[in-house]
A = this chain, B = another copy of it.
Amino acid sequence: MSLMLQEIREQPAALERTIQAEQKKIEKLGKFLIERDINLIVIVARGSSDNAALLGRYLFEITTGIPVSLCAPSVFTLYKANLKLNRALVIGVSQSGEGVDINTVLESAKNSGAFTIGITNQANSSMTKIADETLLTHAGLEKSVAATKTYTGQMLHFYLLAAALSGSESVYKKIPQFCETALRLESEVKELVQRYVFMENCVVVGRGLNYGNSYELALKLMETCYVVAERFSSADFFHGPLAIIERRFPVILFAPQGVTKQSSIDLLTRLNELHADSFSITNDQTIASLSGRALRMPPEIDEFLSPIPFIIPAQLFAAHLAEAKGINADAPRSLSKVTITV
């Protein structure tokens, strides 16, 4: 069994550990930040961590009303700009804590008077030395090149912090159990991937809170299955990219119940007219019936809590598809675990 598959299965326990270890601290941190009256949240990350940041963006804006800027690191590293961040909260996200560009942004933001947080899986990394506060993902060492348990751990921290900043209830406590349930789809996924062994291109669609998941599954499919995977929100997809869809073109959707449901139905209806090949991860009956294939998630998962449990079958899909394609998911060609960019 691949390390990637092992690490996917470790997620419910890792998420539970993170809640236990970090909840109290983050509640205090939230109070401190509310007093500080921050007016902007900046999130800086790359790769899977940046996909987790996409969730953070929606969560913070929806629950706190504080605008979020997803940072372009080169503004700091290449263009040497000094941003006015004195009332900002700047959050760096890096599995290893060694992303040079991410840490450069944190340092620069600190010098501009921002309060900085590092979300990382490495307690003694460069990031923890720079950031004012560290939030650890208690995932244990991640050995697979393809991030899985650190991705969901980072997402979880955005839930914890958003709850603390908005003074709302800790509904996120249900997430580890939802993930446990999602893992039960594995045997179904293992059969399903056979159908996609010769897939070379695809589009992954997600919207709102699940937008980041569309990036993450696309990245997993690129890294571990060498599939050229595009990613869009269902809204953006209608602005041009729809033209690439022809008969049997595969489209994968994150399509939970909730506010994005109509958007998923509209897209699936159009895709069916174009005879595209659709596959949804969904907990909605109508969406499932409109989809060529569906992986059914429990209906009791509210859209607000769907992103973490919904990525689990997607991770399983990528890991098993890699195996079915005869690729070692743990050692993707051309990649290494820690990527240094400036």
Chain A positions within 8 Å of B, measured between CB atoms, are 39-40, 42, 46-48, 50, 57-58, 61-62, 65-70, 72-75, 78-79, 81-85, 87-88, 101, 146, 200-201, 207-208, 211, 219, 222-224, 226-228, 230, 233, 235-236, 238-246, 259-260, 263, 270, 274, 332-335, 339, 341-342
Contacts and interface: CB of A to CB of B under 8 A. Distances in A.
Given A79-B259, A243-B332, 16 more contacts: A47-B239, A50-B236, A58-B74, A58-B75, A65-B81, A65-B84, A69-B69, A74-B235, A75-B208, A146-B240, A219-B240, A222-B241, A228-B228, A230-B230, A243-B334, A270-B334
Closest 6 A/B residue pairs (Cβ): A47-B239, A69-B69, A235-B341, A78-B259, A243-B332, A223-B240
A62 B79 contact: yes
A75 to B, nearest CB: 5
A40 B83 CA distance: 10
B240 A47 contact: yes
Given A75-B58, A228-B244, A236 B47 contact: yes
A241 B79 CA distance: 25
A48 B239 CA distance: 8
Nearest to A334: B242
A303 B211 CA distance: 32
A142 B46 CA distance: 37
Contact of A339 (B79, B228, B239): B239
Nearest to A208: B74
B67 A42 contact: yes
Nearest to A74: B208
Contact of A235 (B101, B228, B334): B101
A226 B208 contact: no
A84 B39 contact: yes
A211 B72 contact: yes
Contacts of A61: 72, 75, 79, 81, 83
Contacts of A146: 240
A245 B334 CA distance: 9
A320 to B, nearest CB: 17
Residue of A72, A81, A84 with most partner-chain B CB within 10 A:
A72
A260 B47 contact: no
A68 B67 contact: no
Contact of A84 (B66, B228, B235, B270): B66
A8 to B, nearest CB: 17
In this complex, the member of A67, A200, A230, A245 whose beta carbon has the largest number of chain B beta carbons within 10 angstroms is A67
A243 B223 contact: yes
A48 B235 CA distance: 13
